[in-house]
Structure 1
């Protein structure tokens, strides 16, 4: 089994597409009429498959919705923030430098959902694995 994608309800499809394409997502395809609304499938250039589905039914989305946050890996935090600034998208939190060189910050999409940008340190795997948690004690 594997996770296929995350579906996000959006209030304004055009505004959301402008935001997500500025981050780097590209449209793979659309399904114009479904029982839950119009579906727009997105993926990042380095992804093989769709990872985000924008769901638009014309209704307003409660600020933030039911999603805590979406995480996007970037190669260079500085370069990514420069590209986003050119699209008038600014982080909502300062860049944090973590152990071993990891950097993170947060954006907010047009419907208020948080998107975490992560720059892994050199040599880190492209995703999180058990190794990332081997030195952390699990709290109960």
Structure 2
């Protein structure tokens, strides 16, 4: 088994698509279940499959993002360049942090239009992609 994607319910689909495409996602496809809802599947360039789904159900009202979801973590190869690009696109990422000390990963945070928090992570040179059991030994 493996995780396929995370789905976020969004209040304003166009606003959220603008945010996530500025972040770097591209739209893979849409599903219209026929009840006024819209599902939009997104992936970063080079990803083999969808990694995020935006779910728009206008009849259910405003989204409360703080209802259990803590954050989405996204890896970047160059955090400083990513922050420059996001700022130029009108997004407002927070400052660079070093949660594991100066030799650990660099991170920065931003928040999407519905309040979902996103952690951007740049691993130190030589660190494999993602978190593995080796990070906890």
Answer yes or no: same fold by TM over 0.5: yes
Output the CA distance in 2 between the equivalents of 1:76 and 1:83: 11
Output the CA distance in 1 between the equivalents of 2:36 and 2:25: 22
2:39 aligned partner: 39
- My pick for the range that moved more, 109-118 or 66-75, is 66-75
Extract unaligned runs of 5+ from structure 1. Answer: 135-140
TM-score by length of 1: 0.88
Structure 1 residue corresponding to 2:116, chosen from 89, 113, 118 = 113
1:90 aligned partner: 92
Q: 1:35 to 1:44 in 2, by over 3 A?
A: same
Q: CA deviation at 1:101?
A: 3.9
Structure 1 runs, 4 residues or longer, greater than 4 Å off: none
**Root mean square deviation of aligned Cα:** 1.6
Output the CA distance in 2 between the equivalents of 1:67 and 1:36: 24
1:137 aligned partner: none
Matched, 1:129 2:127: no
Deviations 1:8-40 (A, max 9, x none): 000000000010111111100000225692100
Output the CA distance in 1 between the equivalents of 2:7 and 2:15: 17
Q: CA deviation at 1:46?
A: 2.9
- My pick for the range that moved more, 114-123 or 30-39, is 30-39
